[in-house]
Amino acid sequence: MEQEPQNSQQGFSRLAIAVESLVKQERWSRRFANLLKLAVAGYIIFFIYIASQNITSGDEFEKLTNGKSHVAVVKLTGAIMPESKTSAATINPLLNEAFKNKASKAVIILANSPGGSPVQSALINDEIERLKKKYEKPAYVVVEDLCASGCYYIAVAADKIYANEGSMIGSIGVRMDTFGVTSLMEKMGIENRSMHAGEHKTFIDPFSEKDEAGRKFFQEHVLERTHQQFIKAVRDGRGDRIKETSETYTGLVWLGDEATEIGLIDGLGDLGLVARDIIGIEHVRYYEGEKSMLEELMGDIGTQTASKLSLLLSTMN
């Protein structure tokens, strides 16, 4: 009978120890959660600080370099399409700003594009020609990996074109891609029930039978005429520098060294060489579209954060 109070006392002791342990664990969990929240909040503040420093330094750099003699650089990267970063609506204002700045002594279009819309390319070509005459400044194109089709349409408006010996240049041609799946549809028992008014309205419809008359009309009145506009732009831009052969306007491409030999470009060189040795000014300034606050915050923030942290840690050692 005396063991029951003793057992009960031991039980209460174990329970008290368990409760105390649970309370301590709960306190530790709350403290850890609070520390984690503080760490996340600190990182966010640090993140915003670095971004604001980058924006501020960019603004200060803009003020410092705006009046300094420089070579203006406008990037042309990616497919040339309407409503994009390589559309005429985006590129032409940058070109205008680059030419208009009295401190810019020449303009370089840094090109790396497979081409795209012939209309957008023509609009940018026309703007380069207009700005060259208006501001009496030379324009150059420096090609990185590729300047083909619509990109070359733009490039020929420049006074001179330079590229790497491995750059691909040319593709002076016009294309429109389509396909037909009527045989496959027949095998699968699929029937095309689309309706149209106009005999040739579906001449490029992949689900309809091939319309030879419609295709022939499009080839002659759209593709061939656009091709002739392209050829004229090349001849106007390159003049007697281009050595025309039966292959020149077939859509073929050449590497930079051979493109120099046949007059598609003027020589081999990169941005630094053209600015330093051809134009005679080492300082370059990039003209780019305005970025949103979110783009500014997210742009290259990982590298900047790593650099700032490395500097901070090195000063703490």
Of the two residues 13 and 255, the one the predictor is more confident about is 255
Is 151 found in the same domain as 44? Answer: no
Is 300 found in the same domain as 240? Answer: no
Cα dihedral across residues 94, 269, 117, 83: positive or negative: negative
Distance CA 202, CA 192 (A): 12
- Indicate the pLDDT class of residue 56, thresholds 50, 70 and 90: very low
CATH number at 279 reads 3.90.226.10
- Indicate the pLDDT class of residue 21, thresholds 50, 70 and 90: confident
- Indicate the pLDDT class of residue 31, thresholds 50, 70 and 90: confident
- Indicate the pLDDT class of residue 309, thresholds 50, 70 and 90: very low
Query: pLDDT (tens digit, 9 = 90+) per residue, 252-303?
Result: 999 999 999 999 999 999 999 999 999 999 999 999 976 554 444 554 454 4
Catalytic residue among 104, 117, 149, 167: 149
Query: pLDDT (tens digit, 9 = 90+) per residue, 190-223?
Result: 988 889 899 999 888 898 889 899 999 999 999 9
The CA-based diameter of the chain, rounded to the nearest angstrom, is 120
Of the two residues 93 and 16, the one the predictor is more confident about is 93
Query: Could you give the number of structural domains in the chain?
Result: 2
Average pLDDT, the chain: 84
Q: Is 149 a catalytic residue?
A: yes
Is 48 found in the same domain as 79? Answer: no
Within a domain: residue 291?
A: no
Within a domain: residue 216?
A: yes
Burial category of 145 from C-beta neighbours within 10 Å (exposed 0-12, middle 13-18, buried 19 and up): middle
Distance CA 248, CA 241 (A): 13
Euclidean distance between the first and the last CA atom of the chain, given in angstroms as a whole number = 68
- Indicate the pLDDT class of residue 313, thresholds 50, 70 and 90: very low
Query: pLDDT (tens digit, 9 = 90+) per residue, 162-198?
Result: 999 999 999 999 998 888 888 988 899 998 888 989 9
Please tell me the pTM assigned to this model. Answer: 0.73
Is 308 found in the same domain as 232? Answer: no
* pLDDT for 141 beyond 60: yes
Within a domain: residue 9?
A: yes
Contact 149, 132 (CB under 8 A): no
Within a domain: residue 188?
A: yes
Is 130 found in the same domain as 9? Answer: no
Distance CA 172, CA 118 (A): 11
Query: pLDDT (tens digit, 9 = 90+) per residue, 73-119?
Result: 999 999 999 999 999 999 999 999 999 999 999 999 999 999 999 99
Domain that holds residue 30: 3-60+296-316
Is 120 found in the same domain as 181? Answer: yes
Catalytic residue among 201, 208, 210, 232: 201
Q: Is 201 a catalytic residue?
A: yes
Is 136 found in the same domain as 51? Answer: no
Is 97 found in the same domain as 18? Answer: no
Within a domain: residue 171?
A: yes
Is 260 found in the same domain as 310? Answer: no
Is 184 found in the same domain as 227? Answer: yes
* pLDDT for 12 beyond 80: no
- Indicate the pLDDT class of residue 25, thresholds 50, 70 and 90: confident
Within a domain: residue 100?
A: yes
Please count the CA atoms within 13 angstroms of the CA of 253 that sit on its side-chain side. 18
**Residue 78 CA to chain centroid, in angstroms?**
5
Is 254 found in the same domain as 188? Answer: yes
As given in the structure block, the two tokens for residue 193 are 């029930």
Is 300 found in the same domain as 280? Answer: no
